[in-house]
Copies of this chain bind each other. A is one copy, B any other.
Amino acid sequence: MPQGESGADARSARPTMKDVAALAGLSIKTVSRVVNGVSTVDPELATRVQDAARKLGYRPNLTASNLRRSDGRTLTIGMLVEDAANPFSAALMRAAEDIARSRGVLVLFGSLDEDPARERELVEALLDRRVDGLVMVPAGRDQSYLAAEQQAGTRMVFVDREPGLLGADAVVSDNRQGAITAVEHLLAHGHRRIGYLGDQITIPTAAQRFDGYQYALEYARLPLDPDLVRHDLHSTEAAEEAVEQLLALPEPPTALFTSQNLVTIAACRALRRLRKHQEVAMVGFDDFPLADILEPGISVIAQDADALGRIAAQVLFSRLDGDTSATRTMTVPTRLIPRGSGELTPRSVRA
C-alpha cells in the first residue's frame, strides 16, 4: 500500500483556518483570535471554533504565522557543533535542547567537522530558514561575515570557542587553567619530563591548552623540550604513532598531557599496546565515558559540557528576550578528576 498521497492532494488535505472558519460559520480572523488565545472573544464562539478545529484536526501553520507576525519568530534556533556524533558535541546539543524546549523552541543542528567552508554554508542555510538565533562552536577563525546578520537582529552565542573578529557572547571552558592544573598535578607527583599531545594548534582551545602547558612548566622553572611536544594529531592513528615515538626517545617522558578527548583515548590505546599504561602517567583534557573503569582509571580535566550548552542557550534566550547589555565571554571552570593514571610516579617505571 502506498504511504500517504501524492504531492498535489497532500496540500489540500491539511485544513487551514479558512476551513475551520467555514465549519464554525465565523470569520478567519476570529479563528485566529481563538487560536492565539486573545481574550476578547465571546466564550461561546470560542468553543465553536475549538470544536471545529478539533473535528478537522486543525494545526496552525507556523511558517505562515512567522511570515506575518510582527516579531517574526520561528520558534526555532540553529546549533552548529563539531560533530553531532562526538560525545562532547552531543552533550552540548542535548543541554541546549532542554533549555529550548522549555520555551517551545526546537533546534536545527549541523556538524561542521572543523571545516570553515561548511560553517558558512550551514550558517546560511540556517539563516535562510530564519532561525531566531544561533548557538555555535565555530570551525573557522573569522566570523566577521556574521556582522551584518548580527546587525539585522539575529542573536548568536558561541560555545567552547570564542568568535574571531566579531563581538558576540561566548561561553567557554577555562582551557588554560585546566591545562595548568593538569600539568601541575603531574609535577606534584614528581614528573619532570611531561609530553604534550594535542590537536591542531590552529583550534583556539588547543592553543589555550598548550599555552597552559607551557605556562605551568615555565612557572616550575622547567625547560620546554620541543621533542616532547606533538601538535596536529587529528586522527587516532597519528595520535597513537606520536605516543610510540615519544616513548622511543632516548629520554622518554614519564608523563603525558593529552589535550583532547580522542587524543587521550588514542594514547590509552597506544600505552596499552606498549604495556606501559601502568608506568607512564597521563592526564587528559575532557572526560569521557568509562574513563573510570580502565586500569588504571584515566585522570582527566573534566569540562562541564552540560553547563556550556545550557548557559549558551540561556544567554541566547536572554538576548532574544531583549537583553541588550554588553556582550561578554563567560568562563565555565574545569575540574580535575584523579583516577589513577595521573597519580603514577616516575619511580613506578619498570620496577
Contact = CB atoms under 8 A, between A and B. Distances in A.
Interface stretch (A46-54, A172-180, A264-272): A264-272
Contact of A85 (B91, B124, B129): B91
A349 interface: no
A15 to B, nearest CB: 9
A288 B87 CA distance: 12
8 contacts: A3-B327, A4-B154, A4-B155, A5-B152, A13-B151, A57-B148, A85-B90, A101-B110
A97 B125 contact: no
Given A108-B76, A108-B107, A7 B62 contact: no
Interface of A: 1-11, 13-14, 57, 59-64, 66-67, 70-72, 74-76, 83-87, 89-91, 93-94, 97, 101, 104, 106-111, 122, 124-130, 148, 150-156, 167-169, 265, 268-269, 272, 288-290, 292-295, 319, 322, 324-327
A1 B9 CA distance: 52
Q: How many copies does the complex hold?
A: 2
Contacts of A70: 7-8, 11
Given A84-B94, A94-B85, A111-B97, A319 B62 contact: no
Given A3-B155, A10-B72, 16 more contacts: A3-B168, A10-B154, A14-B153, A57-B148, A61-B67, A61-B128, A62-B129, A62-B130, A63-B74, A84-B97, A87-B90, A107-B110, A265-B290, A272-B293, A293-B294, A295-B295
